[in-house]
Amino acid sequence: MKKLFVVIVFTQLSIYLKCEELKYASIDILGGGIVAGIQSCFSQKPTIKSISKAFYKGCIGGAIQHSSKLLIKQSALNNNFDLVWPARICNSLGTSIIYNASQNKGLFDEFYMQFYFMYLKYDVKNNKFNTKVDIITSVNSLYMCINNNYKFNFIKSLKLNVLYFDNYEEQEIKPYVLGRAIGNSMYVVKQKFYRLDNEGNYYEIDKNLTVRHEFIHILQYEQYIPLNSISIDKLHIKYVSDYCLLNINFGLLYFINDKIFGYDNNIFEKQANYYKK
Ligand SMILES: [Zn+2]
């Protein structure tokens, strides 16, 4: 019955999604399964049964994570940020399912969510609330706070659940960097940039595209947090693993991807470019 469910999900996806979408959807779905499968080996004695159980539950989490990117693509149609919060909740729900699957818990036993520089956990079963400080987000935001080139944007931060900064540096050398996301923080440059259209006229690049691109990276960052028990949690450093989240997983995966395929073919970049418009 469970296998049938997975087959139905994949068949439906292959029918309804365009080829490129199917590729990105598969990466998210299988990625969720693989993360949960690997992670389950650390939380219990691994058997074929336990790994495959975590895998298929992780695939469900991955599918939910993927729907958050579809919401961002949908919001691009109206060029607004109305669907950003639903997308964030969707992504967190998917990540929570992967977390729960990897620990052999019920799909909805615990809910995890990235909230600005904090990482929240709600234990639904025991009605317990716990919070960790996201080190990468905090350090990067602190750096931008004390650097005169960046200004905190309160409204955009509220809209995106991201520590959002405007960057006032002027760039003269191509290729231009229009924005960057690190952890749950990001910046987008204020400087205006222009491109030539097919008729030879210049038009201003829409910065909302950059915001959505960077936002997809932020969703990707959250997606791979469940792999964390392999890194920081297992080190059992007093206080660090209890109160701090050090999520280097996405950065590491991004770096490996970059080294193998290069920036233009980096799968995370291609995904961000596809769902931003
Ligand atoms: Zn990018």
Task: State how many domains the chain has.
Answer: 1
**Domain membership flag for residue 229:** yes
Chain-centre distance for alpha carbon 203: 30
**Domain membership flag for residue 21:** yes
Centre of ligand 1 from the C-alpha of residue 34, in Å:
23
Centre of ligand 1 from the C-alpha of residue 217, in Å:
7
Query: Which pLDDT does position 240 carry in this prediction?
Result: 66
Tally Cβ neighbours within 10 Å of residue 63: 20
Query: Which pLDDT does position 19 carry in this prediction?
Result: 80
Chain-centre distance for alpha carbon 96: 13
What is the span of the domain harbouring residue 20?
2-136+210-275
Centre of ligand 1 from the C-alpha of residue 107, in Å:
31
**Domain membership flag for residue 156:** no
**Domain membership flag for residue 180:** no
**Domain membership flag for residue 170:** no
Centre of ligand 1 from the C-alpha of residue 118, in Å:
23
**Domain membership flag for residue 94:** yes
Its pTM stands at 0.89
Q: What is the pLDDT of residues 242-261, one digit of tens each?
A: 788 888 889 999 999 999 99
CA quadruple 196, 199, 201, 203: dihedral sign: negative
Query: Which pLDDT does position 177 carry in this prediction?
Result: 85
Contact 37, 67 (CB under 8 A): no
**Domain membership flag for residue 60:** yes
Task: Walk along the chain (277 residues) in steps of 10 and give the mean pLDDT of each run.
Answer: 68 66 91 94 88 95 96 91 94 96 93 96 93 95 96 96 95 83 96 86 90 96 82 58 85 94 93 93
Q: What is the pLDDT of residues 92-101, one digit of tens each?
A: 999 999 999 9
Centre of ligand 1 from the C-alpha of residue 268, in Å:
7
Centre of ligand 1 from the C-alpha of residue 247, in Å:
18
**Domain membership flag for residue 239:** yes
